[in-house]
Amino acid sequence: MSTASTSASAALLDRARRVTPGGVNSPVRAFRGVGGTPRFIASAKGPWMTDVDGNEYVDLICSWGPMILGHAHPDVERAVSEAASKGFSFGTPSENEVALAEEIVRRVEPVEQVRLVSSGTEATMSALRLARGFTGRTKVVKFAGCYHGHVDALLAQAGSGVATFALPDSAGVPESNAHDTIVLPYNDIPALQAAFVEHGDEIACVITEASPGNMGVVPPAEGFTAALRRVTRDHGALLISDEVMTGFRCSQAGWFGLEGPQGDGVPDLFTFGKVMGGGFPAAAFGGRADIMSRLAPDGPVYQAGTLSGNPVATAAGLATLQGCTPDVYGRLEVAARAIAAAASEELDKAGVPHVVQWAGSMFSVFFRDRPVRNYDDAKAQDTEAFGRFFHGMLDQGVHLPPSAYEAWFVSASHDDAAVSKVIDALPGAVRAVTE
Ligand code: PLP
């Protein structure tokens, strides 16, 4: 294994811990799920990241999704510099916001209008308020293992960091708030039907990850999305498809572009983030115009933001979406399939039980011998084996997401050199699991 120094990262972590809880600004970055010292990254270009000790890594985090074109893509850099040269934030409407909204509406057919916000959390929080305002109901249904950001009402049995740290939910969420959240097992149509039989006329909406990626990648089973649509419609509830992770990544129109309308319809509302901000704080929620028109200033549901539609962030998002050509999706697919196939082959050779699951080019490797259909299945994986594998890869210059509950992300810049480096690291990482 490598003898790379991590002393500068360790020193920065010490410094950070004095002024920031855990030394990080988002919990999963702290490496608590895998142990060890998080690497402080100094710069990144294409598929490569360089840490403050000068170690270089192939990046399979891609900022947890946004960097679909690779780091510091020249077109995005140009758009950002140009926008920034004209001012950073106006607090008035500006053209980039219109252009980004048009691009989203053009790509995702059921979305007639969008409202721009600054994070995925804001998008889901606002979509929830809108659904409650539109229906006049209070209860929301979410699925165990789905993460929709750190919205009070949606933290119960959330995936991502909440799963990584084995938290049941979060302290600080009032019981009265969690009381209106019904948490159901994912991919379980009878449980969905039973919840609606009991509470059908109180449920404002069902929110689901379009294809969950926050308990690892767990795509909807055949018929599940159609059932969500049918049951919500039958009971006058809205269906919110959270495409913060899958949006514009799984295809040009996100997971919706792959799955299409299901049963008798499409989701009422969508949430987006990550890719559409190109690495900057931009996110959105949108959907049917008759629902969106209930938002202030046209309607009574209040929602706002000082930096919403920020001209620099929207320039980055627009340049990124415009860069997401069919060729880009082809490249993502090639890189992801090559990495996953090689990982599977090495694990097979060593007799390590695992399954690889997919949503477009988004995938994850579960250290478990059976398919993962829901959060309970995901929790049954061998997270310690993942931790050893993770460090085996990291020591050889490949930076996976530091959690067994996350997707592995590639970018269109993951060329042969980057993919080969990942593949070459696999035998050593698998040895770290078995020895
Ligand atoms: N929804 C999903 C599906 C996500 O994956 C995330 C973040 O990982 C969010 C919402 C929250 O987005 P943000 O971290 O930008 O608040």
Backbone angles phi and psi of 353, in degrees to 5: -65, 135
- Predicted confidence band of residue 159 (pLDDT cuts 50, 70, 90): low
**Residues 403-432 pLDDT 10s:** 999 999 999 999 999 999 999 999 999 999
Other Cβ atoms closer than 10 A to 284: 30
Nearest CA to ligand 1 atom 5: 245
CA dihedral 360, 361, 362, 363 (to 10 degrees): 100
Regarding the beta carbon of 121 and ligand 1, being less than 6 Å apart is answered: yes
Regarding the beta carbon of 241 and ligand 1, being less than 6 Å apart is answered: no
- Predicted confidence band of residue 238 (pLDDT cuts 50, 70, 90): very high
Distance 65 CA to ligand 1 centre (A): 10
Q: Which residue has the higher pLDDT, 265 or 432?
A: 432
| Token pair for 60 | 């399979």
Backbone angles phi and psi of 74, in degrees to 5: -55, -40
pLDDT, averaged across the chain: 95
Q: Which atom of ligand 1 is nearest to the CA of 212?
A: 3
Distance 73 CA to ligand 1 centre (A): 23
Regarding the beta carbon of 383 and ligand 1, being less than 6 Å apart is answered: no
Q: Report CA-CA distances (Å) from 375 to 191, 204, 216.
A: 14, 24, 9
| Token pair for 435 | 């020895």
The span from the CA of 293 to the CA of 303, in Å, is 12
Tokens 């969500």, residue located:
228
| Token pair for 224 | 């599940």
How many secondary structure helices (H) and strands (E) does the chain include?
A: 15, 13
Distance 263 CA to ligand 1 centre (A): 27
Q: Which atom of ligand 1 is nearest to the CA of 242?
A: 3
ipTM for the assembly = 0.99
The closest of 106, 422, 64 to 275, measured between CA atoms, is 64
**Residues 46-69 pLDDT 10s:** 999 999 999 999 999 999 999 999
- Predicted confidence band of residue 3 (pLDDT cuts 50, 70, 90): low
Q: Once rounded to an integer, what is the mean pLDDT over residues 102-126?
A: 98
Regarding the beta carbon of 273 and ligand 1, being less than 6 Å apart is answered: yes
Q: Which domains does the chain have, with CATH numbers?
A: 7-60+325-434 (3.90.1150.10), 74-323 (3.40.640.10)
Other Cβ atoms closer than 10 A to 64: 21
Give the pLDDT score at 169. 72
Q: Once rounded to an integer, what is the mean pLDDT over residues 91-95?
A: 97
Q: Once rounded to an integer, what is the mean pLDDT over residues 143-150?
A: 96
**Residues 280-318 pLDDT 10s:** 999 999 999 999 999 999 999 999 999 999 999 999 999
The closest of 429, 282, 280, 284 to 349, measured between CA atoms, is 429
Distance 186 CA to ligand 1 centre (A): 18
Amino acid of residue 267: P
Nearest CA to ligand 1 atom 9: 149
**Residues 359-417 pLDDT 10s:** 999 999 999 999 999 999 999 999 999 999 999 999 999 999 999 999 999 999 999 99
Instruction: Please state the pTM of the whole predicted model.
Output: 0.96
Regarding the beta carbon of 148 and ligand 1, being less than 6 Å apart is answered: yes
Q: Which atom of ligand 1 is nearest to the CA of 64?
A: 8
- Pocket mutation for ligand 1, best pick of 28, 245, 275, 362 (most atoms within 8 Å of C-beta): 245
Other Cβ atoms closer than 10 A to 301: 18
| Token pair for 31 | 């490496």
Regarding the beta carbon of 245 and ligand 1, being less than 6 Å apart is answered: yes
The span from the CA of 74 to the CA of 224, in Å, is 40
Give the pLDDT score at 350. 97
Distance 214 CA to ligand 1 centre (A): 9
Q: Once rounded to an integer, what is the mean pLDDT over residues 180-200?
A: 96
Nearest CA to ligand 1 atom 7: 149
Catalytically annotated residues: 147, 242, 274
- Predicted confidence band of residue 164 (pLDDT cuts 50, 70, 90): low
- Predicted confidence band of residue 4 (pLDDT cuts 50, 70, 90): confident
Quick check: bond before 297 cis, omega within 30? yes
- Pocket mutation for ligand 1, best pick of 128, 155, 274 (most atoms within 8 Å of C-beta): 274
Task: Give bridge partners of residue 113 from the DSSP assignment.
Answer: 287
| Token pair for 412 | 């269109």
The span from the CA of 381 to the CA of 369, in Å, is 8
- Predicted confidence band of residue 193 (pLDDT cuts 50, 70, 90): very high
